[in-house]
Amino acid sequence: MKRPCYVIDAFSAQPLSGNAAGVVLDGAALDGKAMQKIAAELKHSETAFPLPARDPTASLHLRWFTPTSEVAFCGHATLATFHVLVEEAARIRVGQSGVTRTAFTCKSGRLNVELSRDEGRLRILIETPASRFEPLQLPADLLAALGLVPEVLDPKIAPQKSAILEGNLYVAVRDREALARCRPDAAALEGMGKALGVAGYVVYNLNPKPGIGAAMRCFFPGYGIVEDPVTGSAAGQLGVLIQDALPEIMPRRLLFTQGDELGRPGVVEVEVRPEAEPGKVRGWIGGRAVTVLRGELLL
């Protein structure tokens, strides 16, 4: 059977930048093992499979696979999916004015999406799963495995915090140069992650230049990804963390950059919105995307 298959560069309007994701349509007959094999064949950090809706309030169900495992949420592959559904497959219609609101379900629950156009260009905003943080004293050997020394940590973010969701650990450094010098030891980080209960490590620098809320680098040895070019899920969590740690100086709308060290620069738009429950906020992520490959998957 032939299935439409796309490669989308997400969080960038320029081809061969941002983060590439595979998107495979019409996969309702595929089981998880088949999806995993397809993701391993395509070799992108994540491949998305939009499936028929399982909830009457959602337009589709989404599954994402790295080359080695399924994940509960992926930001850039979700952005890529809605780009395909609107701009390539014409399965969701977005007018030239106003906002089209829809939703999808996934392992992380039901999440909302807002679609609009800015001078004709599609803008996608995606609600991310709820974030919860707990204090964590960073072990010295963990810093060494990241290629960092204690002196480069940002004193404004104290204590350092780890994100419970998806098992990401966040480390703030004081300047952009320290972020660029980060040299992770993937094997050591994977071993420490098993002991700490984390699969990913997010190193970031606040306000690296005017107009940019943070620069990020993300390492996911637990998923077989040494470094991810641009990570929407981590950006959404980071927006909530910054809002929580520094509410007096951070706006609710931010731009995060990532991917420069890999030669795939990208920008994630982050909005931090209040929840119905007092004191709770939720991260939303968005940005641009561009199609770099259209084809058919032959199975």
Active site positions, annotated: 46
Instruction: Give me the amino acid identity at 23.
Output: V
In this structure, what is the dihedral angle of CA atoms 99, 100, 103, 104, given to the nearest 10 degrees? -120
Residue with tokens 């699969």: 199
Between strands 281-287 and 266-274, the pairing is antiparallel
* Rounded Cα–Cα distance for residues 118 and 178 (Å): 36
Element (H, E) at 236: helix 232-245
User: Helices (DSSP H) in 8-156: which residue ranges?
Assistant: 32-42, 75-83, 140-145
124: helix, strand or coil: strand
Instruction: Give me the amino acid identity at 230.
Output: V
What are the Cα distances from residue 32, in Å, to 11, 35, 41, 71, 206? 27, 5, 14, 12, 39
* Rounded Cα–Cα distance for residues 246 and 187 (Å): 33
197: helix, strand or coil: coil
Residues in contact with 101: Cβ distance below 8 Å, sequence separation at least 6, in sequence order: 112, 113, 114, 115
